[in-house]
Structure 1
Amino acid sequence: MGRKYSKSNLPTKICPVCQRPFEWRKKWETCWDEVKYCSERCRRRRSTAQSPE
């Protein structure tokens, strides 16, 4: 069994709260499309993020 992602080529997203890039993690394997925040801290601070509207 091969890996779906190699460590040198992991997908990334930008956190809407801290504006920092974060990479895919094994624990997000089944829910990567729903992941929006880089950490629990940013998820709790989401109200401070500017809405795109």
Structure 2
Amino acid sequence: MPFSFRWAKDLGKGVRVNAGRSGVSVTKRIGRATVSSTGRVSVRLLKGLSWRGKLW
């Protein structure tokens, strides 16, 4: 069984630093949406239902 690594640190005001096997990224929460420095976006539509996509 392979091991995985994931680490996240809240910086406040909806900003979080994430680190994992593929590198480090920063995410910013804006209302129901979360935008990542890697170009990914996640939007919470309803409780338990979300949409994820890529900006660039």
User: One fold, TM greater than 0.5?
Assistant: no
Q: Which has the higher strand share?
A: 2
**TM-score if structure 2 supplies the norm length?**
0.24
Q: Which has the higher helix share?
A: 1
**TM-score if structure 1 supplies the norm length?**
0.25
